[in-house]
Chain A
Amino acid sequence: MSGLATDLAAQPLAGLLQQHPILAEFIATLEVELSPGTLTLGQWLDELPDEVFFDAGMERAQMIDHLQRLIDEMAAMSAASHEQIHSITLIGGHDKQGRAENLTLEFKAGEIVCIVGPTGSGKSRLLGDIECLAQGDTPTGRRVLINGCEPDEERRYAPDRKLVAQLSQNMNFVVDLSVRDLISMHARCRMLADPEAMADQVIACANDLTGEKFLPSVSVTQLSGGQTRALMIADAALLSSSPVVLIDEIENAGVDRKRALELLVGGEKIVLISTHDPLLALRGTRRLVIRHGGIAEVIETSDQERHNLEHIERMDATLMGIRERLRSGLRIEEDLQ
């Protein structure tokens, strides 16, 4: 037993349970009568029969250590959730031929950056460098700074505190839970004060993004492709702990892409999208062109492109309108010219 755990054992159980709800949750899994009275944690554990420890798969000393580690872990998670990331800086390395990238890019919270380039050009490598907070030790030689500083070792090698949330087209919900249960479970993991209210907000937001509305009571595995994607985006924007969201295309079926992006950016995320969809690619402040494994060019979205985007949006709105009318069983017979 560690010194800290010895101190823990000497504390009154009733006070501990009040201070650390996670201990009550753990004790509930032991399926023992819990009437703490005036006992200390150590005294209470001493009175438990051996079978309880046997069934829990722990020895007495291991259980106190486990409880101490549980308290420490909750404290660490709570501290990490207050961490603010305002910017990420990417310091260029080299492409596959060894040509230097010669650039330093700063991505700020609330910014959309698009990544364009053919399959196999190195888009995933770039996203991977950001995800692992490369420090010149990946094949590209790139370096990544957080808030302008080199991340400390602890930050780098704690990938359970992920910097990057990913949304890709081959991701699905697999768990057999209702939308409300899964999202409120996620909110509890983030240790929010009112997880149910947050779940309602995420579900309302997702319904706002998709043409086909769904109920909170439906199972996540029964959602359509568009509903699934809308829920994933709303959750990433409002609930994910990760300050960076990496998106591999947003299919146009059933998701309002413009609002999806506004939602993510409004959540003060840094959004990186690998896309060739004009509605998305031109909405970013700039786009990175990837060639031969390196960033070959950085294109700032021009005024003319922004103007063109408005035109493309009108065309898209027309198409979305037609889709909506087809969904409701109407004819499309007017002159579209």
Chain B
Amino acid sequence: MQLITVAGSPSVGKTSVILRVAEQLQNAGRKVGVVKFDALSTSDDQLYAQKGLPVTVGLAGSLCPDHYFVSNVEDCLAWGERQDLDVLITESAGLCNRCSPHIDGVLAVCVVDALAGVHTPKKIGPMLRLADLVVITKGDIISQVEREVFAFHVRLANPGARALFCNGITGQGASDIARHLQAAPQTPTLSGSRLRFSMPAAVCPYCVGETAIGETHQRGNVKKMRFVDLENT
């Protein structure tokens, strides 16, 4: 199974982009599932379900959503295997521009919103800088001038990464993204994998700089996800 981490600030259009890209992957015969991470509540899982995509939700509540993500991503991978997926996409919102869910060896996507202004790429931290692929949304309603300036600043923030424009409403650009995702490496296991950057500050092991994934590394305030399909058996 291919694991893909998609991250981006709230309201940039992550869900729209994933829906469009997942459709392309489905058309190519791949079975795609999504794990939606959010802070307090979400109804995006219904949007995924409507498209026939297996979906599960993780709400971080009082914890940092990125720390919550890394405490649960191994279980998400297992969920994906149980669903017999070819591609598992995790969607998470970077709230403080500080942490990032990107993992070594796992295709990392960052979604940014061209409407946010030409200086924004500089302000987004590891989430943008350590991504393999940057998807720029809402480029269709800004001027060509701003599009070129924005893309330039994205390249300076993450030199060498691919930056693609995608219109989440019409789906323009989604096929280019799907082509990149098709080439994502396989992720048979995450045990022993490492985050690309440490998540600093606060109370859970990942808050104090832990990057290793696996139950044995999770001490202190670790919040685990519930999986409905496991509870029913």
Contacts and interface: CB of A to CB of B under 8 A. Distances in A.
Given A128-B172, A159-B164, A171-B140, A182 B145 contact: yes
Question: Chain B: interface secondary structure?
Answer: helix
Interface stretch (A110-118, A235-243, A262-270): A235-243
A328 interface: no
B142 A171 contact: yes
A316 to B, nearest CB: 26
A88 to B, nearest CB: 18
A166 B162 contact: no
Interface stretch (A38-46, A172-180, A209-217, A303-311): A172-180
10 contacts: A58-B197, A59-B198, A128-B172, A159-B176, A160-B151, A173-B145, A182-B145, A189-B152, A232-B144, A236-B144
A22 interface: yes
B197 A171 contact: no
A186 B150 CA distance: 9
A29 interface: yes
Contact of B141 (A58, A170, A228): A170
B150 to A, nearest CB: 9
B160 A157 contact: no
B155 A174 contact: no
Q: Which of A72, A157, A174, A177 counts the most chain B CB atoms within 10 A?
A: A174
A241 B148 contact: yes
Given A128-B172, A159-B164, A159-B176, A66 B129 contact: yes
B148 A189 contact: yes
Interface stretch (B11-19, B38-46, B56-64, B118-126): B118-126
A171 B143 contact: yes
B179 A185 contact: no
Contact of A240 (B125, B148, B163): B148
B162 A157 contact: yes
Interface size bucket, A side?
35 or more
Interface in A219-251: 220, 228, 231-232, 235-236, 239-241
A197 B227 CA distance: 62
A185 B118 contact: yes
B77 to A, nearest CB: 25
B185 interface: no
Contacts of A220: 143
A189 to B, nearest CB: 4
Interface size bucket, B side?
35 or more
Interface string B99-124: 00000000000000001011000100
B173 to A, nearest CB: 8
Contacts of A167: 144
A162 B168 CA distance: 19
A57 B98 contact: yes
B165 interface: yes
Contacts of A173: 142-143, 145-146
A232 B122 contact: no
Given A159-B163, A172-B143, 16 more contacts: A22-B156, A59-B197, A73-B159, A74-B159, A157-B180, A158-B162, A159-B165, A159-B176, A160-B162, A167-B144, A170-B141, A171-B140, A172-B141, A175-B142, A182-B149, A231-B145
Given A57-B126, A57-B197, A160-B151, A174 B162 contact: no
A54 B200 contact: yes
Contacts of A74: 159
Contacts of B152: 77, 189
Interface string B194-205: 000110100000
A69 interface: yes
A25 to B, nearest CB: 8
A174 B146 contact: yes
Contacts of A177: 118
Contact of B160 (A59, A69, A166): A69
A182 B144 contact: no
B144 A166 contact: yes
A66 B143 CA distance: 30
Nearest to B179: A157
B164 to A, nearest CB: 5
Contact of B146 (A66, A70, A165, A182): A182
A174 B160 contact: no
B144 A165 contact: yes
A69 B141 CA distance: 31
A232 B163 contact: no
A240 B156 contact: no
A241 B145 CA distance: 10
A9 interface: no
A129 to B, nearest CB: 12
Given A57-B98, A170-B140, A186-B148, A175 B159 contact: no
Contact of A70 (B141, B154, B159): B159
